[in-house]
Structure 1
Amino acid sequence: MTTAVTQAHRDAARRSLEGLALGDAFGERWFPLFRDRDRAYDDIRARRTPEEPDWHWTDDTAMALAIQRVLDQYGEIDQDRLAACFALTFDADPARGYGHGMHMLLPELLEEPERWRTLAPELFEGGSLGNGAAMRVAPLGAWFSGDLELAGRQAELSARVTHAHPQGVAGAVAVATASALAARGELTVAAVAERTPAGTVRDGLARAAELPFTTEPWKAADILGNGQRIRADDTVPFAVWTATRHRDDLEAALWSTAEGFGDVDTTCAITGGIVGASTGVGGVPPEWLERREALPGR
């Protein structure tokens, strides 16, 4: 690596992780209410906070914590060690909401983590193009925010352990880039699109870059996708758009992202990780942080 990771970069990564976990836990609260979509939408539009006293985070945060542990220990992504960390994290609590692919892959990596090289490409035809690599990667982008090229390369390494499809990788590169740009105070959708590998994720970001911020979030989700298809290209453009729309206001960013419905814990986790890299969580209502499940570390 050519760029030193400073304490400021580490602090940005922690802010991003806190924002990701908050978005994940906040978004997860809405799933039970989606059985009555009209009521849920009215509650979101009225900014009525979910009533549950405990907001638990999901696999989005669990896997982000695994990435953070590898970065803390080794300073960069070591893919075999990351595979082992993912497998151990899954084994410790497999009920965090992991997708079907991770239930197939991660138990196989417990004893032989290096097998990700052969197993991940075989998960689906051409490898997974889901949103899992994108949902967990924002803190990595903040960690390497001193060098955008390096952030993209490290995001690709982190993605390929589970997501071999080029668009699964592209989703991770896009989110890491967005988080790095947010930490630098330079976030725009166009800048993220420019640094995202060619394909459907980049095409979606290009559409998002042209979408005015006066657009209602539900309409933006109709145009860009809301994660309902569990694909990176259906998830990342909307999450990056809402993050950029509210890049200085994490609370507003999460409410707007929730308006898109869909895979709302993942879209909110991505948005929270991006915005949090800049703002941290200090501006959200104190009761949100009191309810959110604690994170390991400081």
Structure 2
Amino acid sequence: MTNLPAAVLDSLHGLAFGDAFGDRWFGILRREGPAALEARTLPREEVWRWSDDTAQALVLVRELAEGGGAVDQDRLALRLAAAYADDMHRGYGASMHDVLRRIGAGEPWREVVAGQFGGLGSWGNGAAMRAAPLGAWHAADLDAAAGQAARQGAVSHHHPEAVAGAVAVALAAALATRSRGGPAPARPDFLSAVAERLPDGDVRSGVRIAARMPERTSVRHAAEVLGSGYRMSGPDTVPYALWCAAGHLDDLHEGLWFTVAGRGDIDTTCAMAGGVIAARTGVATLPSAWHAAREPLPPLVPE
């Protein structure tokens, strides 16, 4: 993994930490309720396994490495299907089980993804959850970050709001990477800079609302207003995750605890926030217990 840009690796590791940390909380909240979250009780599992969020981000980073930062959609579709076939028990959503099985069986990916949900395509958050390292890769060119994020998103999610969510996360990670070594942008400025490059729609509206929220806004109120992924859609996940990230661009540890407090699709909101924040901070300051607990990432070389 040493041949990849440092910010890309940082973002990928931050995404994986957020994913693995957040994913543990589904079980904790079922067993122990919100008191454990309020007390910030660490997950007790010996290994914090990451989910499909990280599995797909690994595929995307391999694709970027082989393509010099450019996404070959046909190749990416086959890579995603192959990764799914190798380890399909990573928490993939129901529609992605169908999509990736059919692509793996040889069906054209464009027809498969366009046919989802009566021809509307999925507007889920899967295209966005893997996009942060791509933004870190293209931090020097925001147009490229947006364009390549849209290309990779369309491979699995046909709905324009799902693609817009991927673009939003990539832009946020690119902006976070640009700020490395300098002062963190103010939350309203950071989110406004993301929103101004998004197409009109629900994701853009959500990010703009997030940018206008008063500094004193509680995480519970933000989750209620923006949505924290209970509907598992791009518009219902991305604005909240970016709001959390934008308020913690100097503190990955606190940012992940803050994000998980909004409940919802916890592994994915934390993966998005972690990927964005770590593009600026790296992951070295996370507690040693976290580094020991998180499932390692596999060697990251072009396949």
TM-score, normalization by structure 2: 0.92
Distance 1:228 1:111 in 2: 31
Distance 2:238 2:95 in 1: 19
1:289 paired residue number: 291
1:24 aligns with 2:26: no
Is contact 1:30-1:40 (8 Å) kept? no
Aligned-pair distance for 1:168? 0.6
Distance 2:298 2:63 in 1: 14
**Aligned letter for 2:221?**
K
How do residues 14-53 of structure 1 correspond to structure 2 at under 5 angstroms? 14-35=9-30, 39-53=32-46
Bigger Cα displacement from structure 2, 234-243 vs 217-226: 217-226
2:90 aligned counterpart, secondary structure? coil
Q: Summarize deviations over 1:163-206 as a string: whole Å, max 9, x none.
A: 01110100000000000000011751111111111100001111
Distance 2:8 2:33 in 1: 32
Match of 2:147 among 132, 153, 174: 153
1:56 paired residue number: 49
Match of 1:11 among 6, 9, 14: 6
Aligned-pair distance for 1:277? 0.5
Is contact 1:139-1:179 (8 Å) kept? yes
1:197 paired residue number: 199
Match of 1:118 among 95, 111, 121: 111
**Aligned letter for 1:207?**
I
1:201 aligned counterpart, secondary structure? helix
Distance 1:178 1:47 in 2: 27
Distance 2:237 2:297 in 1: 25
**Aligned letter for 1:210?**
R
1:171 aligns with 2:165: yes
Aligned residues: 288
1:139 paired residue number: 133
Over the aligned positions, Cα root-mean-square deviation in angstroms equals 1.4
- Sequence identity (%): 48
1:270 aligns with 2:272: yes
1:96 paired residue number: 90
Q: Summarize deviations over 1:239-275 as a string: whole Å, max 9, x none.
A: 0000000011000110000000010000000000000
Distance 1:209 1:40 in 2: 31
1:72 aligns with 2:65: yes
Aligned-pair distance for 1:111? 4.6
Displacement over 6 Å in runs of 4+ = none
Match of 1:207 among 189, 206, 209: 209
Match of 2:255 among 240, 247, 253: 253
1:236 paired residue number: 238
Distance 2:72 2:214 in 1: 40
Aligned-pair distance for 1:112? 2.9
